[in-house]
Amino acid sequence: MVEIKVKYRGKEQILKFDKEKVKAIDILKALNLSSEHAFVAKNGELASEDEIISPEDKIKVINAISGG
């Protein structure tokens, strides 16, 4: 099991995954978000959906803002 600390909407939480390799898209799915509406920042850099996330990475999930 892999535990990833995630900051989302100003709160930190621990997400637990029952797999060896966790991808950025797995974090979004665990938070019931889609990649159309949110993205993952890994160590301050935008992460692609299939980028591997490690427990020591600093992860922040940010909602995409659409303008009108």
Query: Across 1-68, where does the E strand assignment appear?
Result: 2-8, 11-17, 22-23, 38-42, 45-46, 52-53, 59-63
Q: What is the pLDDT of residue 44?
A: 97
Given a cut of 90, is residue 65 above it in pLDDT?
no
Sequence ranges of the domains in the chain: 2-63
Given a cut of 80, is residue 68 above it in pLDDT?
no
Model confidence, pTM? 0.90
* 6: CB partners within 8 A, 6+ apart: 12, 13, 14, 15, 27, 31, 59, 60, 61
Instruction: Provide mean pLDDT across the span 37-63.
Output: 97
Region 2-63: CATH code = 3.10.20.30
Q: How far is CA 21 from CA 33, 37, 65, in A?
A: 19, 23, 29
How is residue 50 written in tokens? 């299939």
pLDDT band at 64 (very low <50, low <70, confident <90, very high): confident
pLDDT digit string, tens, across residues 10-44? 999 999 999 999 999 999 999 999 989 999 999 99
